[in-house]
Amino acid sequence: MYRRFNQYFVLFVLLIFFLIFPAEVLSQFLGYKILGDRKRVKIPFEIYNNLVVVPVKLNGIIPLNFVVDTGVRSSIITDRYITDVLRIPYSRKITVNGPGDYVILEAYVVTDVDIVLQGVVGTDQSVLVLKEDYLQLRNYLGAEVHGLIGHDLFTRFVVEINYAKKILTLHEPENYKPRKKYKKIPLSVEDTKPYIYADVKISDSSEIHGKFMLDTGASHAVLINQNSDANVIVPNKYIESDIGRGLGGPISGKIAPIIQISFDNFRFRNLVASFPDPDSYPDTVGLVFRNGTIGGELLSRFTATFDYFNKKLYLRKNQKYSKTFGYNMSGLTVAAEGTDLKSYKITNVLKGSPADLAGIQNNDYIQYINGIDIDNIELNEIYQLFNYKDGKKISMYITRGKKTMRKKFRLDDFLGIDN
């Protein structure tokens, strides 16, 4: 058993719940409008590690890419260089402290900013700008991603995410009519975030009926808070892991197989769930109790429409619905570096993992993987190889200093998910 399996950061948890925004900031969230006389607008997007990334323009000038994230209150820019270049003044500074007055993060609020999406404009918006790039989205997603946008869209429009066609549709609420083939599920919106209830069978001796936040900004399938219910018992077969990265740093926990999660008539079996350590991911974050979160790995199996106005979630299966759930079976964490994000650095090799046994080390750089030159592969595709199949052969040419060497190993499905 790997005692520590630093899986690819499948969870980008934002500890924005700690931040208390002034009323004048929240009041500006409603400043979005569709241009012209249209009642809806369709926006193409890209998917990176189950995250929806849309193109935006800041003040109609700087083209950026933002993650669409139901878990954030305000739009966030992760790279302060962007607002510095535009010489946008900061109205106030925010500092979030952890235990012992340890500074978790520092950020700035900018006001009167215009955020333009295709066919939609948000005028006089307030945006949070991180002092440092705490999340490193571009490195761990392998794509140019500069920030996040969330509640301000979902509270203004009925938001339809078609994961299969990669189309985000924003509907004027008064004109939206759900399609007949879509399944309607009750949705609650509390503290700016959406929730549904689901039944989770963790093992033959552990199951719960729980409240789960729908988090489009998290790429895992299911996360379960260990202290949320006495019936939550982590299965005996698990892997200790850094399951994600938040504004406060890595989030440690366990990943383990669960038997099933179901809501309404939808059922998913043989999943991998994340169980964050309570000290790393406190249940007290935010004002609303929850048993966990449902993320992009599960949501991407639908066309999902969020209707905050009528408290409904509309779902329709897509072709990915019955696809087997996977996880990183290599033992490697890889980050993209360089101006073109085409330099792939191994940032962690887990002791006892297939990659470790093959002699791969931290700070090695991948040059070829399974015969593919790094110039012809994306980071997302590298992780698809690592998630692919128990026993799959992985062959790499790596550089270590001035040396180039070949390393080979087979993926190991320790959790027994790949049936």
Q: Which residues of 117-149 are buried (b: 16+ CB within 10 A; e: fewer)?
A: bbebbbeebbbbbbeeebbbbbbbbbbebbbbb
Residue 50 corresponds to which tokens in the numbers above? 């189950």
Query: Are the C-beta atoms of residues 127 and 151 closer than 8 Å to each other?
Result: no
Q: What domains can you pick out in the chain, each with its CATH number?
A: 12-175 (2.40.70.10), 183-317 (2.40.70.10), 332-410 (2.30.42.10)
Distance separating the N- and C-terminal Cα atoms of the chain: 19
Q: Which amino acid is located at 57 in the chain?
A: K
3 state DSSP class of 381: helix
From CA 419, how far away is CA 390, in angstroms rounded? 9
CA dihedral over 355, 357, 358, 362, signed as positive or negative: positive
Query: Are the C-beta atoms of residues 97 and 91 closer than 8 Å to each other?
Result: no
The CA–CA distances, whole Å, from 251 to 271, 348, 392 equal 20, 15, 28
Query: Are the C-beta atoms of residues 77 and 87 closer than 8 Å to each other?
Result: no
From CA 160, how far away is CA 9, in angstroms rounded? 26
- Which residues of the chain fall short of a pLDDT of 50? 1-29, 283-285
Residue 79 corresponds to which tokens in the numbers above? 């790279």
Give φ, ψ of 30 to 5 degrees.
Answer: -90, 10
The CA–CA distances, whole Å, from 260 to 292, 294, 375 equal 15, 13, 39
Structure confidence at residue 73 (pLDDT): 87
Strand 147-149 versus strand 62-68 pairing type = parallel
Closest CA to 370 of 356, 357, 388, 343: 388
How many other C-beta atoms lie within 10 A of the C-beta of residue 198?
23
Closest CA to 14 of 70, 72, 80: 72
Structure confidence at residue 282 (pLDDT): 57
Structure confidence at residue 9 (pLDDT): 43
Q: Which residues of 289-317 are buried (b: 16+ CB within 10 A; e: fewer)?
A: ebbbbbbbbbbbbbbbbbbbeeebbbbbe
Count how many Cα atoms sit within 13 Å of the Cα of residue 30 in the half-sphere of its side chain: 5
From CA 76, how far away is CA 344, in angstroms rounded? 26
